């Protein structure tokens, strides 16, 4: 890395991240390498080259890991999905008798995995709201934060919790899915590990599944690498290539999504028929004091309540620029009524992921759709 590179801004870093040195006649980003086995040296075997077999070794995957690692500020290992990354990390690090604290208001499938699998293997599982209060960390092997939390968008003070966790000998993991490494860099704030779903805003085109873990600890990296190699939870070469291609526009996409979220939040704050509005970039939001100090940019996700499931359906049906879909962070604005997936949210709770549509068009469409949806309850 040259002396000038640390001064590059987000847009430049995203465009350049993980690219190999230029070679005349080669593309900027080499195409995906599809291989299960590779040619081996008949004398030296796998010791002669980086690539031996496709599960542990793939050059396309390594370029993506280099790119994400540059953005997160650590070494990275990518997984087949965000859930594969999170569950792989927990299973690789935790042992029977350990205690883990997970966010009570975080991603629901992680909580379900903890109660169904971790507790069954003898791990003591505790759940703590993102905003606390947090118990003593004495005897806790691992603390995981999800900040901003999905889907409620509360924010935790990573640096403060890192100090408390490390004083007790506790590992701190931060799920950085909602923020992305351009929104915050948890490793800089004291986290031991970062985990995220690359399916969402990081890659942003709603066309692949991906997860990753990043760390600055050589020991933890070795543990995670061995786990991934043994279990085979790797993404395919084409998904890795698509993800790397998509990183180049991350700065541009997040800028528009965040601007759209700010405008939508302002619209919703002025409507009496919308309750429970949350967006950490809004000064009136409870998360704003911590988020404004900790985060470099705000996410494109807004949450609110429309009262009941029928009204949510009418709202989405009336909207022309809002699609009903789960996941978030894509180019298209989507609304997800989380209760339909078994998440413990109110029936009318909506997680709205702002896309990159023109801001004025999106605000006008949402306002018109809310008007068309009418009041809470079935329309006569």
> What is this structure's pTM?
0.95
The tens digit of pLDDT for each residue in 282-315 reads 999 999 999 999 999 999 999 999 999 999 999 9
In a domain, 336, yes or no: yes
When pLDDT is averaged across residues 162-171 and rounded to a whole number, the result is 98
55 touches 232 (CB < 8 A): yes
Using a 10 angstrom Cβ sphere, with 0-12 exposed, 13-18 middle and 19 or more buried, the burial of residue 308 is middle
* 202 in the same domain as 187: yes
As a whole number of Å, the CA-based R_g of the chain is 21
* 175 in the same domain as 293: no
The tens digit of pLDDT for each residue in 64-117 reads 999 999 999 999 999 999 999 999 999 999 999 999 999 999 999 999 999 999
Q: Output the domain CATH number for residue 332.
A: 3.90.1150.10
**3-class SS at 246?**
helix
The CA-to-CA distance between both ends of the chain, in Å, stands at: 66
Between helix 359-373 and helix 250-269 the angle, nearest 10°, is 40
Q: Count of H helices and E strands in the chain?
A: 11, 12
| Distance separating alpha carbons of residues 133 and 142, to the nearest angstrom | 17
In a domain, 67, yes or no: yes
What pLDDT is recorded for position 6?
61
Question: How many domains in the chain?
Answer: 2
Tokens of 368: 């018109």
Q: Is the pLDDT of residue 158 over 50?
A: yes
Phi–psi pair at 143, nearest 5 degrees: -115, 125
Nearest of 106, 109, 148 to residue 127 by alpha carbon: 106
- Three-class DSSP labels, 254-296: HHHHHHHHHHHHHHHHCCCCCEEEECCCCCCCCCHHHHHHHCC
pLDDT-wise least confident of 1-5, 27-31, 54-58, 232-236: 1-5
Q: Output the domain CATH number for residue 183.
A: 3.40.640.10
β-pair partners for 125: 100
* 265 in the same domain as 189: no
Domain containing 369 equals: 251-373
Residue entry with tokens 């942003």: 204
In a domain, 379, yes or no: no
Domain end residue (candidates: 231, 247, 263) = 247
* 269 in the same domain as 207: no
* 267 in the same domain as 224: no
């Amino acid at each position: 890395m040259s002396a000038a590179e640390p001064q590059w801004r987000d847009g430049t870093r995203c465009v350049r991240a993980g690219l190999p040195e230029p070679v005349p006649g080669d593309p900027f980003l080499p195409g995906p390498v599809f291989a299960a086995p590779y040619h081996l040296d008949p004398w030296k075997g796998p010791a002669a080259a980086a690539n031996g077999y496709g599960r542990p070794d793939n050059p396309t995957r390594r370029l993506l890991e280099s790119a994400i690692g540059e953005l997160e500020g650590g070494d990275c290992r990518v997984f087949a999905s965000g859930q594969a990354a999170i569950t792989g990390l927990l299973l690789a690090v935790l042992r029977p008798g350990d205690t883990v604290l997970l966010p009570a208001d975080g991603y629901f499938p992680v909580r379900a995995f903890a109660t169904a699998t971790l507790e069954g293997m003898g791990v003591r599982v505790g759940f703590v709201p993102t905003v606390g209060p947090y118990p003593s960390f004495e005897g806790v092997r691992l603390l995981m934060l999800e900040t901003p939390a999905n889907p409620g968008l509360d924010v935790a003070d990573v640096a403060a919790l890192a100090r408390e966790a490390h004083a007790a000998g506790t590992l701190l993991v931060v799920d950085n899915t909602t923020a992305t490494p351009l929104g915050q860099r948890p490793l800089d704030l004291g986290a031991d590990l970062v985990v995220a779903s690359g399916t969402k805003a990081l890659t942003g085109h709603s066309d692949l599944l991906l997860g990753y873990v990043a760390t600055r600890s050589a020991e933890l990296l070795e543990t995670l690498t061995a786990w991934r190699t043994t279990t085979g939870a790797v993404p395919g070469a084409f998904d890795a290539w698509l993800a790397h291609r998509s990183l180049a526009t991350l700065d541009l996409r997040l800028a528009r999504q965040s601007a759209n979220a700010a405008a939508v939040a302002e619209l919703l704050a002025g409507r009496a028929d919308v309750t429970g509005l949350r967006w950490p970039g809004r000064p009136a939001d409870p998360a704003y004091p911590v988020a404004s100090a900790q985060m470099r940019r705000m996410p494109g996700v807004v949450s609110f309540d429309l009262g009941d499931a029928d009204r949510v359906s009418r709202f989405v049906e009336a909207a022309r620029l809002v699609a009903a879909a789960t996941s978030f962070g894509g180019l298209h604005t989507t609304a997800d009524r989380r209760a339909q997936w078994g998440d413990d949210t109110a029936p009318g709770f909506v997680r709205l992921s702002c896309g990159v549509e023109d801001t004025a068009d999106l605000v006008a469409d949402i306002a018109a759709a809310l008007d068309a949806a009418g009041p809470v309850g079935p329309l006569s």
